[in-house]
Structure 1
Amino acid sequence: MSHLTGNDNYFDNFEVGAVYKHARGKTVTENDAVTICHMVLNNASGHFDDHMMKTLFDQGQAHVDRSLVYGGVTMSIIIGLAYQDTGENVITEQGMTGLKLTSPVLHGDTLYAYTEVLSKEDVDDKSGKVTFRHYGVNHRDQLVFQGERTALIAKAA
């Protein structure tokens, strides 16, 4: 019988201190960023007005010629990229803390994710709690996101 999830991402498989580089990256398209802004009613022009951003930053500030990606999109993409390795056998998400957006993400940037296992706690015969720290970097290797996520994860049968 084939399994629907990977065979190495149960509670039992995580080791405190392990660091994962997740396999996939994701280029943030204008559609990704602007659609979510409109869905959550974030109407800040900096997220969808490239001309305004270029005009603002042409006046002696850092060079920006595209709109900024809403932070909620950045966080969601990083957690999503990490999920194949850290979330396939999650029973419940317990919480997220220490969320930090450390550098701006622009339309067209490509994001990559890394995860560090911070702690493990045995809960019962079928599950355990794992706390991860997720890191997001862009294609220039700049840290753009960091945050901790705790999940109740199934043990291997």
Structure 2
Amino acid sequence: MQLNQLTERDNYFEDFTVGEVMKHVRSKTLEPLEQVLITNMVMNTASGHFDEEVMKSHPMGRRLSFGGVNIAMFVGLASQDTAENAIAELGMDKIRLQGPVFHGDTLTAYTEVLEVGPAEREDAGVVRFKHYGTKQDGSIVFEGERTVLMKRRSHWGAR
């Protein structure tokens, strides 16, 4: 298994191989402002995300990050390596939020290439990724699979 620690510029369909694992070069500390702003924007009003006093008596002891924000952060961290040459997002499934994320946690994303195959159009192929994410203590807090229609270098790349 190869661990890629550099963000690549040109990830076309032909560049992905089954079994390849990438550690995405950028991590992101989840700031309370962005967590609360995005959670408000999607109309999630659960007190677990907003009410510090209520959460003091909860087993978690403090406010939790909204899982939708966590998913978006991990997929976003993986995007430069897995979406720069995407034509279309075909699906996301098998999403699992496996542990709590709190304001101030630093998130890191990893991707494994699960499958590469043909598409209905000759200028693209289909790539299925497994994304997973950790926080600063190394615990896995997110897993999910994503299927992407990816440009072929042979049709779209610099000649």
Give the alignment's TM-score, normalised by structure 1. Answer: 0.89
> Larger deviation: 147-156 or 27-36?
27-36
Corresponding residue of 1:138: 135
Corresponding residue of 2:28: 26
8 Å contact kept, 1:66–1:107: no
Q: Identity over aligned residues, as a percent? A: 47
Query: Partners in 1 of 2:106 and 2:53 — Cα distance?
Result: 22
Residues 1:108 and 2:111 are matched in the alignment: no
Corresponding residue of 1:73: 69
Q: Deviations over 1:3-25 (max 9, x none)?
A: xx812x10000000000000000
Q: Deviations over 1:38-97 (max 9, x none)?
A: 11111100001122212223xxxxxx4431000000000000000000000000000000
Instruction: Summarize the alignment of residues 8-157 of structure 1 with structure 2, pairs less than 5 Å apart.
Output: 9-57=11-59, 64-123=60-119, 124-156=121-153, 157=157
Query: Partners in 2 of 1:88 and 1:56 — Cα distance?
Result: 41
Corresponding residue of 1:61: none
Query: Partners in 2 of 1:48 and 1:110 — Cα distance?
Result: 19
Structure 2 residue runs without a partner (length 5+): 1-7
Structure 1 residue runs without a partner (length 5+): 58-63
Query: Partners in 2 of 1:23 and 1:38 — Cα distance?
Result: 29
SS in 1 for 2:63: coil
Q: Deviations over 1:93-147 (max 9, x none)?
A: 0000000000010011010000000000122431000000000100011110000
Query: Partners in 2 of 1:84 and 1:66 — Cα distance?
Result: 32
SS in 2 for 1:56: coil
Residues 1:6 and 2:9 are matched in the alignment: yes
Query: Partners in 1 of 2:76 and 2:58 — Cα distance?
Result: 32
RMSD: 1.2
Aligned residues, how many?
146
Query: Partners in 2 of 1:55 and 1:118 — Cα distance?
Result: 42
Give the alignment's TM-score, normalised by structure 2. Answer: 0.88
Amino acid at match of 1:148: E
